[in-house]
Structure 1
Amino acid sequence: MTTAALAPPARRPRARTLARVLPALLLVLLALSGPLLAPGATDLPVTAPYGAADDTAALGGDLLGRDVLSRLLSGGAPLIATALAIALAVTAAATAIGILAALRPRLGRWVERAADLAILLPAVLGIMLVALAWPTGGRLAIGAAAVVLGVPYAVRVVAAAAAPVAATGYIETAAAGGERLWYLMAREVLPNLRSTLLALFGLRFVEGVYVVSIAAFLQLGPQPPEADWALMIRENAPGIMLNPWAVAAPCLAIGLLAVSVNLAAEALAPARPTPETPL
């Protein structure tokens, strides 16, 4: 007769984990310190419109002749800050609501129905409604829209991951022993969801980058003359044949940021235990 057991969590090699985390860390640090590294002003023309790369502008000029490299170095910090705020807000809210829904099944059914209704709202329409209804609009409105639209999806992920944990014997024993709800959420269920929450945070961060980028194409969120990667793509798209770097550079920056953050979140997540079946 065989018995199934779970092996202890496997440890990922440190070198492999570092190799996957380091690119994201370096890219984020470069983007945040970019305004200090910019070789020139971001709002003053230095070349002809869509001028070619030269000694004055290493990546050429944009539609107004401004230095593409300076705007690229200065445009990552606001995008990363917005995406980070979105990811933190969505993950925190979804964690609290999802764990609560798992521990209180009756409340969980109402939460699930509310999430289903919220998911029915098209994302682009929701962004436009929130951004246009916001008194001042801009980046804050886009961030609020991303949080409102992202929480329902994230709640379902967290609730699905927390449900098996909430049904285990030690949770029932702690509840029967008189432990309070907040204790069960924070000390009993939450530590078992680290892998799920890290993956969720990485996905929400990338989603925040995409939401801000989409908003820029819809002429919502960041507005000229602000230096922003997403805004650079929309502004310079008509002149892509004249100076491809004006569009390619911010596109590459956004793509590398999204991929590297996802790889880092996956590498930092605890390795799942491997099932073993001894004879």
Structure 2
Amino acid sequence: MTTAATAPRRGPATGRRRAALRAAPALVLVLLALSGPLLAPHTIDRPVTAPYATADAAAALGGDQLGRDVLSRLLHGGAPLIATALAVAVLVTGAATVLGILAALRPRLGRLVERTADLAILLPAVLGIMLVALAWPGGGRLPVAAAATVLGVPYAVRVVAAAAAPIAATGYVEAAAAGGERLWQLAAREVLPNLRATVLALFGLRFVEGVYVVSVAAFLQLGPQPPEADWALMIRENAPGIMLNPWAVAAPCLAIGLLAVSVNLAADALAPSRTTPETAL
């Protein structure tokens, strides 16, 4: 009989291997999406078969509404989506981390930040993105990414501030402040190292949200425009012919879902184990 004292313990190497295995699908999918244009058998704008044709030797996943190769457009459509979502995730997580830590270390500033965030959260994200994208000269991906970044920061700030508040109130942070450390030193040396799990988990969630926001914007005819290859744009364009060639819609749907799930699992796997401020010393 195996007791708690005699049960084998998973060492750091085992934990790292498990984390690497959970992060591997996301890495493979991202690398495949980024290298997709090099692997595509056809150009994205040249018809190679009949509209909504089923899979054959000329088109492994059949044709879209104009007879273009679905597989080639699928391989081209991942890199722009990933780049946009990654930019949104980095900007939102970075801004929220800075503001959240400052809010925890400076209560007066924290109250102002939290009240501003509460007001900004009341604006529906989709409505805000539509207003910015429609008012932006020329449209495209940039206004969608900018609106998603601005509208994503308030909620993320509340998350970071809530996680940083108990850390900022611990004795070692107060001792460091009494010892003469400046604000940026307190934030970078004392608070931020204890927020690694929260920040990494937040980054994963913001990336997934970025993927979904950009996809919804493209589906609403905001952001990327035809004939650009984009996974969400492919879904909207080929929806009328889903019964003729289901892969024209199913393939980009699966790609978006797998990307979101795999990146979120990778962020959770790579996050360090949560520790209390006392054990982090």
1:272 aligns with 2:274: yes
Name the structure 1 match of 2:164: 162
Name the structure 2 match of 1:98: 100
Match 1:62 to one of 58, 61, 64: 64
Identity of counterpart residues, as a percentage?
A: 83
Match 2:79 to one of 62, 77, 80: 77
Give, in whole Å, the separation in 1 of the partners of 2:177 and 2:20. Answer: 40
Give, in whole Å, the separation in 2 of the partners of 1:17 and 1:112. Answer: 34
Name the structure 2 match of 1:246: 248
**1:217: how far off?**
1.3
**1:14: how far off?**
2.6
The alignment's TM-score, normalised by the length of structure 1, stands at 0.93
Name the structure 2 match of 1:36: 38
Residues 37-186 of structure 1 aligned to structure 2 (within 5 Å): 37-186=39-188
Give, in whole Å, the separation in 1 of the partners of 2:20 and 2:68. Answer: 37
Unaligned 5+ segments in structure 1 are 1-9, 275-279
Q: CA RMSD in A?
A: 1.4
Q: Which structure's relative contact order is higher, taking Cα pairs within 8 Å and 6+ residues apart?
A: 1
The alignment's TM-score, normalised by the length of structure 2, stands at 0.92
Please give the per-residue CA displacement for 1:23-67, whole angstroms capped at 9, x wherever unaligned.
Answer: 000000000000010011110000111011100000000000000
Give, in whole Å, the separation in 2 of the partners of 1:174 and 1:136. Answer: 51
Q: Mean alpha-carbon deviation: is it higher for 71-80 or for 178-187?
A: 178-187
**1:187: how far off?**
1.3
**1:273: how far off?**
4.6
Give, in whole Å, the separation in 1 of the partners of 2:184 and 2:136. Answer: 34
Unaligned 5+ segments in structure 2 are 1-10, 277-281
**1:135: how far off?**
2.0
Where 2:80 maps in the other structure, the secondary structure is helix
Letter in 2 for 1:29: L
Structure 1 stretches of at least 4 aligned residues deviating more than 3 Å after TM superposition: none
Please give the per-residue CA displacement for 1:117-171, whole angstroms capped at 9, x wherever unaligned.
Answer: 0000011111111111222221000000100110000000000000011001111
Give, in whole Å, the separation in 1 of the partners of 2:237 and 2:63. Answer: 12
Give, in whole Å, the separation in 2 of the partners of 1:197 and 1:251. Answer: 28
How many residue pairs end up in the alignment?
Answer: 266
Letter in 2 for 1:135: P
